[in-house]
Amino acid sequence: MKILIVEDSRANLLVLTRYVEQYGATVLPAENGLSAVEAFERERPDMVLLDVILPDIDGFEVAKRIRGAEGPGDWTPIIFLSALGKDEDIEKGIAAGGDDYLQKPVSEIVLSAKIRAMQRIIQMRTSLVVLARKLDTANQELKRLSASDGLTGIANRRFFDEHISREWRRARRSANCISLMMCDVDHFKLFNDTYGHQAGDDCLRRVAGAIASSLERAADIAARYGGEEFVVVLPETSLSGALIVAEKVRHAVHGLNIMHSASSFGRVTLSIGLAAAIPEVDNSYEALILAADRALYHAKHEGRDRVCRSDKMPEA
């Protein structure tokens, strides 16, 4: 434990140093206010014993500067030592950032008791900080899990519903185009019937990974929409730009080379429907979803393993 002792009287400094060293702490001595602030910033002591009357700046100003030098969440106990014992002096010391106030001459027994009390507070505070960090980490993990699909690891339907609503409002404010991809694994029921549900789950995981890895921008979000359906939100992307991304996704799934003997393609493929819109007062993201879903229907109706786009937004 390091204790900064700020005392301009060398005799008092020696006495205080002896008291503190008997307690087992390391002493950092300072004989004026400015050197005390420098020592604090350099050494970051665990506690400060601070005289009020100093030759340059007074102890109240030193306390204020120490508090100003502390980082967010930091706290260093400051105990004022002074011959001034009026109520207003004590109040001024606490207002300046002090935590306790001892009147000179300081009793070794009282000082030792105050140091032990402050040390207990430090330990309790440290434990609370550690606990708070653990809770924050746990909350972040819970938040991540609540937004993730348990099977594929990408975003889930709940996250998508919240995300598309936010992105739609953002696009409306900036008058930017937003595109949506609806993706469906072709003949997935036949895949499950042929290879079993465990293979089906592995297929969905790999397809989800291929979709997600095809997105280059952090703003582009892939989510599992339900069953074998996936959705991709592409903010600030036109229909022509979304078409490029969709073809990249489709080829990425091709590249997985997942055998599908019950499909005419001989491998797992993806059908994709595209829609895009510039949000306005009289349209909604529900209409965008419906347009992408209808485009997906056309992709499947026209033979699957293809991308179809919607050129018109339907009524929501």
pLDDT of residue 23: 76
Decide: helix, strand or coil at residue 188: helix
Calculate Rg over the CA atoms of the chain: 34
CB atoms near residue 121 (< 10 Å): 13
From the candidate CATH numbers 3.40.50.1980, 3.20.20.140, 3.30.70.270, 3.40.640.10, the one assigned to the domain spanning 157-309: 3.30.70.270
In the set 70, 228, 280, 315, the catalytic residue is: 228
Please spell the DSSP secondary structure of 83-112, one letter per residue. S---HHHHHHHHHTT-SEEEESSPPHHHHH
* Residue 12 to residue 28: CA distance in whole angstroms: 14
> Can you give the residue ranges of every domain in the chain?
2-129, 157-309
Tens of pLDDT along the chain (316 residues) come to 899 999 988 888 888 888 888 878 889 999 999 999 999 999 999 889 999 889 999 989 999 999 999 888 788 999 988 877 677 877 888 888 888 888 888 888 888 888 888 888 888 887 887 888 888 888 877 776 678 998 999 999 999 999 999 999 999 999 999 999 999 999 999 999 999 999 999 999 999 999 999 998 999 999 999 999 999 999 999 999 999 999 999 999 999 999 999 999 999 999 999 999 999 866 889 999 999 999 999 999 999 999 999 976 554 4
pTM beyond 0.85: the answer is no
For the chain, where are the E strands, in sequence order?
2-6, 26-30, 47-51, 78-82, 100-103, 178-185, 221-226, 229-235, 270-277, 307-309
pLDDT of residue 316: 43
CATH topology of domain 2-129: Rossmann fold (3.40.50)
pLDDT of residue 65: 93
pLDDT of residue 130: 82
* Euclidean distance between the first and the last CA atom of the chain, given in angstroms as a whole number: 67
Confirm whether 21 is a catalytic residue: no
